[in-house]
Amino acid sequence: MPRFFVQREQVIENTVHLYGEDAHHIARSLRMAVGDELIVCDMQGMEYEGRIEAFVEDREVVVRVERIQQSEREPSCRITVFQALPKGDKLDTVIQKAVECGASEIVPFESERCVVRMKQEAEARKTERRQRIAAEAAKQSGRSVIPQVLPTMSFDEMLSCAAECDLKLFCYEGDGTELLGRVLREERETLLKTSATVAVVIGSEGGFSLDEVAKAKEHGLRAIGLGKRILRTETASGFVLSCLVYVTELDG
């Protein structure tokens, strides 16, 4: 069933009103008709199942609500993926897969060994494009909210944000790390709390420098090992998120 996202003010009594690109997509691309079913999410965790009641040209679609329910599609904790800028279009893949796996927020950042650097004049355009990728992934995977993609941060800005989370995972392939599985088992009760926040920090292709690792530890981040194999930067966040989902949703 097609899924769309609206602001709460677009829900009026027992109807939902979709405008602009959504209305055009329903009418022209999907060629839906009066009586067809769809799901609308209000970005606050509520889902509205209903049928199309009317079209106002291509500008508005009115949906008659038949069922309202609290979404059960979101993780118990709020997970932010902090991803060091990778080369090429790898960040697009990271965003898409992170959204599918349950991330609430994706934050690109610059680290010492990043080959790619932020260009301030292009940042707004790139952030807007990345947000569209997140929105499409949220629709495809049945999310009830659209995760936010923030503008690129510096390494120090990233550390300050990550340090505020309840669980701070700094993924590192060097020595002196804790095993991810052991940490997640230890923190399982925290992760099951709806207010819990988790930071997942992933390096670029070159990984992190020793100075960056030391800084991360000073900010309370835990250096985490991801097993016996070294993962590509575009694989690592999905791997960690999958482990988090297992612990919080699949481990009975």
**Token pair belonging to 159:** 């550390």
CA–CA gap between residue 52 and residue 32 (Å, rounded): 8
Per-residue pLDDT band at 95 (split at 50, 70, 90) = very high
Indicate if 65 and 156 belong to the same structural domain: no
Total domains, the chain: 2
Mean pLDDT, residues 230-252: 91
Per-residue pLDDT band at 96 (split at 50, 70, 90) = very high
Amino acid identity of 182? R
- What CATH number corresponds to the domain at position 209? 3.40.1280.10
Indicate if 55 and 176 belong to the same structural domain: no
pLDDT tens for each residue of 74-83 = 888 999 999 9
In the block, which residue shows the tokens 């909210």?
145
Tell me the average pLDDT of the chain: 93
Q: What is the 3-state secondary structure (H, E, C) of 129-197?
A: HHHHHHHHHHHHHCCCCCCEECCCECHHHHHHHHCCCCEEEEECCCCCCEEHHHHHHHCHHHHCCCCCE
Indicate if 65 and 82 belong to the same structural domain: no
Boundary residue ending a domain (13, 46, 70): 70
Angle between helices 210-218 and 155-162 (to 10 degrees): 30
Percent above pLDDT 70 for the chain: 100
Indicate if 114 and 95 belong to the same structural domain: yes
Indicate if 104 and 220 belong to the same structural domain: yes
Indicate if 199 and 94 belong to the same structural domain: yes
Indicate if 11 and 82 belong to the same structural domain: no
pTM value is 0.88
pLDDT tens for each residue of 171-222 = 998 888 999 999 999 999 889 887 899 999 999 999 999 999 999 999 999 9
Domain range for residue 26?
3-70
Indicate if 63 and 103 belong to the same structural domain: no
Please report the pLDDT score of residue 58 as a whole number: 74
| Residue 62, helix vs strand vs coil | strand
